[in-house]
Chain A
Amino acid sequence: KAGVTQTPRYLIKTRGQQVTLSCSPISGHRSVSWYQQTPGQGLQFLFEYFSETQRNKGNFPGRFSGRQFSNSRSEMNVSTLELGDSALYLCASSGGAIGGELFFGEGSRLTVL
């Protein structure tokens, strides 16, 4: 059973640009969550999508957005990049059960110059 796949694994952008990250969940999983990981702030919840609907959003500015497609694949977008957006962005999928395990991808490491 294939795991969670995130693309690209590494990318470098400059301030002001935008970026789109992709996540393919485990087959059959309908919930996709995104987390930002930085040395200073640790792991912070960005948002969760379930059956194409955003169920919850963390405390991030509107420059951070996401969507989920009918096949459960998800994308997140960050516009007008800032230096502080440099981070590892992790995607996690789950079957949707309360208390169920989140399966994480290897992440997309974004560097903003």
Chain B
Amino acid sequence: AQSVTQLGSHVSVSEGALVLLRCNYSSSVPPYLFWYVQYPNQGLQLLLKYTTGATLVKGINGFEAEFKKSETSFHLTKPSAHMSDAAEYFCAVSGDFFSSGSARQLTFGSGTQLTVLP
């Protein structure tokens, strides 16, 4: 079974500062990992995903994440925060086909609300 832990339900940064949102996962099989963003009253939008290959993944809007197997982490970063980055961010791991019957099922973390201060 998979699980995802997001450290910090609320993170505040100043505009122009580094954004770091933490995600640790637990998986019995090599994971597929995702970061999604949700703006108020909207659905989820994919920022980036890790499947195989390069461990540093670049996504949209200047975000990137690094898969570290030894630390079971997939932290999300952005060098310089913008006011438009204020939203809720979710880390997710894909399902283990053999235990859940579907490799497309996502297990989400509890989310991190990012506030960007002017």
| B110 within 8 A of partner (CB) | yes
A48-B49 contact in complex given A42-B110, A43-B90, A106-B41, C-beta closer than 8 Å:
no
A42 touches B108 (CB 8 A): yes
In the complex, chain A residues whose CB is within 8 Å of the CB of B102? 48, 55-56
What is the interface size of chain A, counting residues whose CB is below 8 A from a CB of the partner?
26
Residues of B38-93 contacting chain A, CB below 8 A: 41-46, 49, 51, 90
Q: How far is the CB of A76 from chain B (nearest CB, A)?
A: 15
Cα-based distance from A45 to B97 in the complex (angstroms): 14
In the complex, chain B residues whose CB is within 8 Å of the CB of A99? 32, 49, 51, 94, 103
Q: How far is the CB of B108 from chain A (nearest CB, A)?
A: 4
Residues of B within 8 A of A (CB): 32, 34, 36, 41-46, 49, 51, 90, 94-95, 97, 100-111
Name the residue on A nearest B52 (C-beta).
A99
Q: How far is the CB of A55 from chain B (nearest CB, A)?
A: 5
Residues of A within 8 A of B (CB): 4, 31, 33, 35, 42-43, 45, 48, 50, 55-56, 58, 90, 92, 94, 96, 98-107
A48 touches B104 (CB 8 A): yes
Q: How far is the CB of A53 from chain B (nearest CB, A)?
A: 11
In the complex, chain B residues whose CB is within 8 Å of the CB of A42? 108-111
Of the residues A4, A55, A102, A106, contact of B106 by C-beta under 8 Å: A102
In the complex, chain A residues whose CB is within 8 Å of the CB of B42? 106-107
Q: How far is the CB of A87 from chain B (nearest CB, A)?
A: 14
Cα-based distance from A58 to B49 in the complex (angstroms): 23
A-B contact list, 22 entries, CB within 8 Å: A33-B106, A35-B106, A42-B108, A43-B108, A45-B107, A56-B100, A96-B104, A98-B32, A98-B94, A98-B97, A98-B103, A99-B32, A99-B49, A99-B94, A99-B103, A100-B104, A101-B46, A102-B44, A102-B46, A102-B106, A104-B36, A106-B41
